[in-house]
Amino acid sequence: MLPRDELQRTARQMNLPGFGPEQQERLHDARVLVIGAGGLGCPVMQTLAATGVGHITVFDDDTVDMTNIHRQILFGAPDVGRPKVEAAAERLRTLQPGIEVEAVRERLTPDNILRALSGVDLLIDGSDTFATKFLAADAAEITGTPLVWGSVLRYRGDVALWWSGPGAPSDGVGLRDLYPAQPDADSVPDCATAGVLGVTTSVVGALMATEAVKFLAGVGESKVGRLHIYDALTTTIRAFTVARDPARPLTAALGSYADACAVDSTQGQSLIDALSAGTAHALDIREPHERAIADLPFPSAHLPLSEVERDAAAVERALAGYAPGDEVVVYCAGGVRSGRFVDTHHALAEQLGISLVSLPGGVQRWG
């Protein structure tokens, strides 16, 4: 039986056709685990708490940064520097005073995720790396936990309900039926610089929360394997049905999950040491607004890639300023753009007698 204040708080919702006290009690009794208190996790948790989900566990090891606030709507400027799970839990309790929030300031890993899923009715993946997404999908399949999955990049977002493994429907579909293998680092944009429109995360998060509420309350149509693709610039949603691959064996054990943004720390440290000693020169190819967020603690030349796109001779002019024998450490936010820059212009550098090398991990790792 729902507490009186919860009945009053959700009364308007229970006026809906097909959505009464029974459905509201299902939400109240549900146990949901959310991965990430970020751009997707924040609107998902905000909506679920307001709608009446009674228990939310959230895993995130990060703290609130000023650059988060434009899309991570549970946070405000006074929260900068606080653990995300702590600030999120505080906000969720104001939306639903009776909610149980378990705030875990950790990353989910192969060592703890199966234990974390014990007793969970629904897993919601709001993470932002392929490594975590494939870890979550495999763990969900091993334990038979339904998974609401979402991703956002630039102006696009994807949403789906996956359910496979023990207890799932016979035609259940998992993430690996769509993506059999984790993409490598070169197949995705720079983790730190691809960009995302803040409102897109709210829209996609709301769609994820809608799928979660329908599934938990038992209303509407919860179609396992239905992939929804949202385009913010055209305000359209396309949908595709992903079929179960009968030739794919179900995941039976967790594997290794390499982060697409992983870096070579040994090489990176040697380059940082050279910059610190003054035996190498730093060349920043980020845009001006990125430099305002964070930078390396060394003097650097600045050659934005947008300038290179406008003026093909800009690279030659910049490199001509170095002396033969100089080592130039090119860096960006995460190392992807600098790697491509070095690959594209290494021949010119050799003609000028200088060496170009990309800083693995960029400012995100070494700033």
Residue 162 DSSP SS3 = strand
So what's the pLDDT on residue 100?
97
Domains assigned to the chain? 4-241 (3.40.50.720), 265-366 (3.40.250.10)
Neighbours of 203 (CB within 10 A): 18
Look over the chain and give the mean of its residue pLDDT values, rounded to a whole number. Answer: 92
Q: What is the pLDDT of residues 187-200, one digit of tens each?
A: 555 445 567 788 99
So what's the pLDDT on residue 127?
93
pTM of the model: 0.81
Please say if 332 is a catalytic residue.
yes
**Residues 6+ away with beta carbon under 8 Å from 141:** 164, 165, 174, 176, 250, 251
Given 34, 74, 135, 332, the catalytic residue: 332
So what's the pLDDT on residue 197?
82
Residue 161 DSSP SS3 = strand
So what's the pLDDT on residue 306?
92
Residue 170 DSSP SS3 = coil
Please say if 191 is a catalytic residue.
yes
Structure tokens at 220: 């509407």
H helices of the chain, where?
4-9, 21-29, 41-51, 84-95, 113-116, 130-143, 175-178, 198-217, 265-277, 288-291, 305-310, 314-319, 336-352, 362-366
Residue 223 DSSP SS3 = coil
Given 124, 139, 191, 319, the catalytic residue: 191
Residue 190 to residue 260: CA distance in whole angstroms: 9
So what's the pLDDT on residue 336?
85
So what's the pLDDT on residue 190?
46
So what's the pLDDT on residue 191?
45
So what's the pLDDT on residue 289?
85
So what's the pLDDT on residue 174?
97
Q: Is the dihedral of CA 93, 95, 97, 101 positive or negative?
A: negative
Give me the residues of the chain with pLDDT under 70, please.
184-194, 259-264
Structure tokens at 321: 């300023």
